[in-house]
Amino acid sequence: MEDIFEMRVRAAAKAAWLTILIGGVVLILHWILYLVFMSSHPTWLLRLWGPDMRWSFVQSVWFWGDAVFKLFLWALAFIALWLTLWSRQLRKRRHGQ
């Protein structure tokens, strides 16, 4: 029973680390697009946001969206670290017995 539980905890830790990696790539890509669009101010992007939109609002929403996404990634990183350490502790306990 403990072997199955240990494998599941280890699998959850691996999945969390992979999710953090993919989220980090998405965050970097999103930040690059933010820099490109905020320096060029394409009119089609402003039209996508709707009528009477201003670049200051788009910039603020985009920036805060990235900030919140980064906070979620940090929270997931702490959870992944906890799962990794817990998995190692379970493995040590199993091999110590």
Reading the block at residue 24, the tokens are: 């980090």
Residue-wise pLDDT for 11-20, tens only, equals 999 999 999 9
Structural domain count, the chain: 1
Q: How far apart are CA 97 and CA 88, in angstroms?
A: 14
Q: How far apart are CA 87 and CA 97, in angstroms?
A: 16
Sign of CA dihedral 76, 78, 83, 84: positive
Give yes or no for residue 95 having a pLDDT over 90. Answer: no
82 backbone dihedrals φ, ψ, rounded to 5°: -65, -45
Question: Which pLDDT score, from 0 to 100, does residue 39 have?
Answer: 94
Reading the block at residue 19, the tokens are: 């999710």
Using a 10 angstrom Cβ sphere, with 0-12 exposed, 13-18 middle and 19 or more buried, the burial of residue 53 is middle
In the chain, the amino acid numbered 45 is L
Give yes or no for residue 1 having a pLDDT over 60. Answer: no
Which residues span the domain enclosing 86?
Answer: 2-96
**Contacts of residue 68, Cβ cutoff 8 Å, sequence gap at least 6:** none
Residue-wise pLDDT for 22-61, tens only, equals 999 999 999 999 999 999 999 999 999 999 999 999 999 9
